[in-house]
Chains A and B, each alone.
Chain A
Amino acid sequence: MEDEKIIDLFFKRSENAITELSQKYGQLCMTVSVNILGNTEDAEECVNDSYLGIWNAIPPHKPDNLTAFLCRIVRNLSLKRCSHNSAEKRKSNYGVCIDELDECLPSENTVESELELNELSGTLDNFISQLDKTNRFLFVRRYWFMDSYESLSKATGIKEQAIRTRLSRIRSNLKKFLAEQGVF
């Protein structure tokens, strides 16, 4: 089913919207989530949470790009879950105390830091747009979808070592690019 029709179903509050969304993007969502979490059970929870999130978001939102909209929700939820899991693993008294004291401090997400983050995102967009298609694919799939080198190799037909080399060069170029842009 086309994205527009799925969005229409959401607007009609039809439960088929979730079914159609799951059929079309279920695999993609699981890939994104598993890449981040490395755990199928957690990934399934995150994907289901994403469906709930998108159910709540549409309407009022009417995304122009449903794929990106959904993937972004899955990614954010997965990162949040990953962060939570990491905190769970270091549950020493010290860690618990820091978490408790965090509540006393204002959030890190100040307006200034949000602006810096948006500015950095714009800079990354510019950088990505300058890459050729293969390098763009590798960069986005590695650092947004968080694909492994092995899956990148399968997807592109390029040897794993060659992919590592390419990404290393791309990172060097990014460092140079960020310096030129005065990001740091």
Chain B
Amino acid sequence: MNGKDIMKAMSNIDDKYISEFADTSNFRKKTKFYLMPRFYGSIAALFVIGISIIFIVTPKNNSPADIIQQENKTTVSEISQNDSSSATDKNNSVKPFNPTYQNETKNANNIADTAENFNNGYDLEENIFSIKVYAAETPSELNLNETVQIKGDFNPIMSSSRGLGIEFEITPPSNGLTLQADSGNFLTWDKDSGAVTNYSSEYFITEKSNIFWTTKSPENAVIKILSKNSVISVINISYDEDTNTFSAQRT
């Protein structure tokens, strides 16, 4: 028996084997998809797309590190307006006093637009953004009929000019506001350049401004806020020799 005999015998094998494999197109062995290189290619592509979407969708400044950085910038700004000499103390960080500054500014602008007819009836409470007293390391808002204690010793964080610092953020009526102090003087501070400009004890505001009042000697003082020569608010600053502290009260 040889190969020829087997080949002859093969001619007579069962019909089912012949018909089973007559069509080869149905047989092709299917490689499982997870064994194919393109499966891994697809996974890699999806991963890259996913990462890209995360980077695109996530705002850049919302990471905790960025928020901290932003806070530090704000703090440095505020510190800068009070002092430019001590970097060590700056790191003690004065927190931003009013985090809703932007919204409130908008409100103030709107009020200014509708305040054309204001004169003596000008409502300061509605148009003052804030009056801050730099009491020690943390600025405190000086609200109506409230008294805020201020340390008497000069602290570099308190002011860039030696003395006390009171910041006025005011949107004046169309005819302006006058700030009048019986002692000390007013000053402005350019946040961008850091330049401080000193003014006299009287300052006239015609637009939304940030003005600082400072004094170099420990003494009592009265700051009046006037509209058309009418006093609409008064800040009394009292000095206590025993405790070497100031207190500020707005009425």
Contact = CB atoms under 8 A, between A and B. Distances in A.
A134 B31 CA distance: 13
A141 B13 CA distance: 12
Given A28-B22, A140-B21, A183-B1, A124 B6 contact: yes
Contacts, number: 87
Interface residues of B, number: 27
10 contacts: A65-B19, A67-B19, A69-B15, A72-B11, A72-B15, A117-B5, A121-B10, A136-B17, A155-B25, A157-B28
Main secondary structure of the interface of A (DSSP, over half): helix
Contacts of A141: 21, 24
Interface string B1-18: 100011111111111111
A184 interface: yes
Contacts of B8: 117
Contacts of B16: 65, 68
A124 B8 CA distance: 11
B18 A68 contact: yes
Contact of B22 (A71, A128, A158): A71
A118 B12 CA distance: 7
A125 interface: yes
A109 to B, nearest CB: 10
Q: Most chain-A Cβ atoms within 10 A of its Cβ — which of B5, B24, B25, B27?
A: B24
Contact of A71 (B6, B18, B25, B31): B18
A117 B5 CA distance: 7
B38 interface: no
B29 interface: yes
Interface of B: 1, 5-25, 27-31
A117 B22 contact: no
Given A137-B27, A141-B24, A156-B27, A121 B18 contact: no
Contacts of A124: 6, 9-10, 13
A72 B8 CA distance: 12
A143 B8 CA distance: 10
Given A155-B27, A157-B29, A76 B11 contact: yes
B196 to A, nearest CB: 82
Contacts of B13: 121, 124-125, 128, 140, 144
B18 A67 contact: yes
Contact of B19 (A68, A143, A184): A68
Given A67-B22, A72-B11, A155-B24, A120 B17 contact: no
A155 B25 CA distance: 7
A145 interface: yes
A125 B17 CA distance: 9
Contacts of A180: none
Interface in A114-136: 117-118, 120-121, 123-125, 128, 134, 136
A137 B21 contact: yes
B18 A144 contact: yes
Contacts of A69: 15
Contacts of B31: 157
A136 B10 CA distance: 13
